[in-house]
Structure 1
Amino acid sequence: MQPKTEEPKLFGMLEDLKKEELEKFKWFLRDRDVLVELQPIPKSRLEKASTCDLVDLMVQTYTEKSVEVTTKVLKKINRNDLRERVEQEEAEREHHTHTKQFQFQTWSSVCGGDHGGKHFVDKHRVQLIQRVSNVAPILDDLLGSDVISQESYNSIMALPTSQDKMRTLYSHLNTERCNDIFYKILLENEKHLIDEFSAK
């Protein structure tokens, strides 16, 4: 089974790709020079994949070769700096295991793994729906992170109340990694609420 440690490394490498770079990345995922003996991910599954979905697809398809494939593609699109940065941050984490470093997404530190196995945003779902009033900047960040599509963004923004917006937003958080991105965005936009809920 694929070690979970590969998932945050993959996400760390891909999260800062610009939209056009992400499209190039997907294109090179079908390059035989990159894949060698590995099977390509079907084009139909790649086309609409967000960053979160892409991490899932790569782990499912390439298992222990996921990081190797990612590194090859990043070299092809001249973004080897992302691999180097993630490896540096990972090394720093190993030397400072008790230091929270939100620059590098990890499913344990960012998702609030001390809540009995339940993700922070799931545990505090009701309170967040009721208390978060300024939803627009959160939706902007989710759109920019490819967690939601432009179509979903438009439909959520059209809803009449912040509670309706938050409730519908939650229906789009369908993977653990997307929850992690949502948590990071909340930390940037609603830190007082996160601190309040974390203290309980």
Structure 2
Amino acid sequence: MATKKKLIFQSLDNLSKENFLSFCAALVDREGDRRVSQSKVEDRSRLEVTNVLVSTFTEAGAPAVVSELLGDIGCGDQASKLDIRIAQLTSNASGGQGAGQLGVVNVTRCSNSMVPPSAVSGTHFVDKHRIQLIQRVTNIDSILDGLLERGVLQYGVYDTIRLTSGTQQQMRKIYDLALKSGDDVKNIFVELLHQQESYLVKDLLKDS
């Protein structure tokens, strides 16, 4: 029976030796509250690194971290495959919905905007579309201003993200430093996305 841990291991097992070493290096360099030291991954097998990922980020949270790091090292295809497999697993566990139905959102009105607050399956819009949002969101400054105004970010974190080079790295910072706080914060973020990147949101919703 497939589990999230097994799917993570399969993703790592499919990497070339060079890409696996790059993945481990990216894992060690990853910023955030939960860090992985070099000693935990150096000369370790793929199964051992899988165990480190699950023990550090939990089995529920580790797939998103793996997907993020796969994208960072240029293995976007592997990241997408993992996302799809996790989505299918989550769909089956939540009552056998088809994979195409996973992440269908309830659209509600909030501040005169149509905002998809959360996925019926339990996978939030911003989690389901993490890779696409990191790659495609460009109006970061206005979104950061909105997060600051709504009290999601403090000035120190706001400045840290703004001073980060590159929109994709800024988006990763937003995920790491703000969006881990829960669905309420994610809902505010999606509302701001709808205001600043409405065409992108509409495009992503077509696949929901």
Tell me the TM-score normalized by structure 2.
0.44
RCO higher in structure (CA 8 A, sep ≥6): 1
